[in-house]
Amino acid sequence: MANAILLGPAGSSAHELPFFSSRIPAGFPSPAQDHLEAQLSLDELLNVRAPHTYLVRASGDSMTGVGIYDGDLLVVDRALPAYSGAVVIAALAGEVFVKRLQQDARGICLHSANPHYPPRQINAEDELQIWGVVRHSIHRHGQHD
Amino acid sequence: MTEPAIALIDCNSFYCSCERVFRPDLNGKPIVVLSNNDGCIISRSEEAKKLNIAMGAPYFQVREQLRRQQVATFSSNYALYGDMSARVMQVIESVVPQIEVYSIDEAFADLGGLPEPLQQLGDHLKQTVLRCTGIPVSVGIAPTKTLAKLANYAAKRWQERTGGVLDIRPQPLREKVLRKLPVDCVWGIGPRLAPQLLALGIRTAWDLAQSDRQLLRKRFGVVVEKTASELAGIGCLQMDEPASARQSICCSRMFNRPQNSLKALQEAVASYTHQAAIRLRAQGSLCRQLQLNLRPRQIDGHRGGWSAACPLPYPSNDVRELSDTAQHLLQAIYRQDQSYSKAEVLLLDLCQPGEFSDDLFLPRQSNASQKTMQVLDQINARWGRDTLRPARVPQQAEWNMRREMISPSYTTRIDQLLTVKAE
């Protein structure tokens, strides 16, 4: 069974200062007053405000093995050098894919994470551009709103 | 004292490059971007330049050529270019201590006192911007701003030899570059001045740098004199302080076709006033005067426009107040028998709240109105621009600019992100 650790509430995305007890209680002071900390921020965690971070949307089911599903949002880092084993955004012959990059003595290969999709070996005549490295994927659960 | 060193970092074919970042299929292919209203060509990729497609060429004249030569053609997408520009500037700022953003696609950076060789720093800047944003830039390094501009121009012009980065501080390289570049390549010397300089025997940038500056001042004024000094390596233009608040704000657009109905003009004027007021509040200013210009469609030799201005009852940033005034001005100058191709709303005489006014008894903008505007801006910041707007501003305007070939706003709209295939 998977465990989840509760981290606390997430802050809104605008960079706001934490709200320190502007209201002065008439009765007893809040015991939490000296323990207030900045709110958690998903912006900060995913680093989406960095100039080298881009959001893209995945389409298709070839990467379900690494937890990327059709319609998921991907947080892509363009500054991070691609490494073997990374999930990358790759432009191949003008088309843009999300694949797992593998680089070894045999050369460069783009892998899917779904047995229905065969790996694609990159040949000398292929025009491959690594557009960025996928750092996070955001998946929506259930049918809310 | 440290030797002065200024870099100009300039994006190559910026708008085309922005489009290409999200369209890898266009790598190595010709691209052009059209001005507002799909009027004329304002950006060309290197491949498009090689096809002899002229800068500024009207779209309707070159449409057939673009189609035949399979040039990817885009309407301008300022949401995308603005966001990519901010990214480029942020990356540059993370590498160098002080920058001055000069335009949407270029910035000066003060490199004085940074460790040599600066050529290497230039290479690093270029590589970092390219890696983080996908936008190619050129870097020119020199002791003055005007020389840095010229170095950048040279870096682009001799791309193969310079690799897009050129430091012209050392002699004799600087002299060699200046001797090779005609005087009209110099920043601030336009096609109008160049022939006049030529008449004096000033043909190249080097000639201008060597000219008698007293004479230049007498003949052409202080600007050209300063340009010559800068070319000679004497800094006259300082690195700018961060931009100060503007003294006037202008919002103007061409209509997709000439408009004659009062309703369309009212909507347009309301929209532009709304936009201008947003910018006014963003810089924390109040406005004391509003001017409205309408440009008639040019028929039977009638040129120029209609214009009217009116002071506001008190300095204000309330869009309702500004809109009222703008609509009154429109009623005053609108003529039923005339078609108009453009409207322009100008906010003038700006001041800061609390600034001294001439009239002690002048009414002031109410606190309630201030609060309302704050709430308006907060709602739009949170839920997207134009969520809350004056009722006269339509959601879809008939008169709005033609932008038939616009690309998705890949970086600013969650419903228009780049789609990547997991197939």
A30 flagged as catalytic: no
Query: Domain residues of chain B, as ranges?
Result: 1-170, 181-242, 249-383
Q: Which residues of B touch A78 (CB under 8 A)?
A: 131-134
In Å, how far is A98's CA from the nearest CA of chain B? 6
Q: Taking 90 as the threshold, does the pLDDT of residue A52 lie above it?
A: yes
| ipTM (interface pTM) | 0.78
| B45-54: average pLDDT | 93
Find out whether the peptide bond into B136 is cis, omega within 30 degrees of 0. Answer: no
Hey, which residues does B290 pair with through a beta bridge?
B310, B347
Indicate the average pLDDT of chain B: 87
Contact B256, B400 (CB under 8 A): yes
C-alpha radius of gyration, chain B, whole number: 25
Hey, which residues does A96 pair with through a beta bridge?
A91
- Give the tens place of pLDDT for each residue, B176-204: 999 999 998 888 887 788 888 888 889 99
Architecture of domain B249-383: 2-Layer Sandwich (3.30)
Q: Cβ–Cβ of A54/B418 closer than 8 Å? A: yes
Q: Cβ–Cβ of A78/B134 closer than 8 Å? A: yes
Pull the structure tokens for residue B337.
């028998």
Q: Taking 90 as the threshold, does the pLDDT of residue A63 lie above it?
A: yes
Q: Taking 50 as the threshold, does the pLDDT of residue A125 lie above it?
A: yes
Lowest average pLDDT, out of A49-53, B74-78, B164-168, B244-248, goes to B244-248
- Give the tens place of pLDDT for each residue, B25-47: 999 999 999 988 888 999 999 99
Could you tell me the pLDDT band of residue B389, with boundaries at 50, 70 and 90?
confident
17-46 of B, contacting A, C-beta below 8 A: 24-27
Contact B353, B284 (CB under 8 A): yes
- Top mean-pLDDT range of A45-59, B283-297, B371-385: A45-59
Residue of chain B with shortest Cα separation from A99 = B422
Q: Taking 50 as the threshold, does the pLDDT of residue B284 lie above it?
A: yes
Distance CA(B17)–CA(B5), nearest Å, equals 28
Q: Cβ–Cβ of B420/A59 closer than 8 Å? A: yes
Query: pTM for the whole thing?
Result: 0.78
68-107 of A, contacting B, C-beta below 8 A: 68, 70, 73-74, 78-79, 89, 91, 94-98
Could you tell me the pLDDT band of residue A21, with boundaries at 50, 70 and 90?
very low
Distance CA(A58)–CA(B419), nearest Å, equals 6
Could you tell me the pLDDT band of residue B105, with boundaries at 50, 70 and 90?
very high
Q: Taking 80 as the threshold, does the pLDDT of residue B244 lie above it?
A: no
- The domain B181-242 is placed in CATH, from the list 1.20.1420.30, 1.10.150.20, 3.40.50.300, 1.10.1200.10, at 1.10.150.20
20-79 of A, contacting B, C-beta below 8 A: 51-52, 54-63, 68, 70, 73-74, 78-79
* Structural domains of chain A sorted by starting position, each given as residue range(s) with its CATH number in brackets: 53-138 (2.10.109.10)
A10 touches chain B (CB under 8 A): no
Domain B1-170 has CATH 3.30.70.270: yes
Q: Which residues of A touch B26 (CB under 8 A)?
A: 94
- Give the tens place of pLDDT for each residue, B122-147: 999 999 999 999 999 999 999 999 99
Q: Taking 80 as the threshold, does the pLDDT of residue B240 lie above it?
A: no
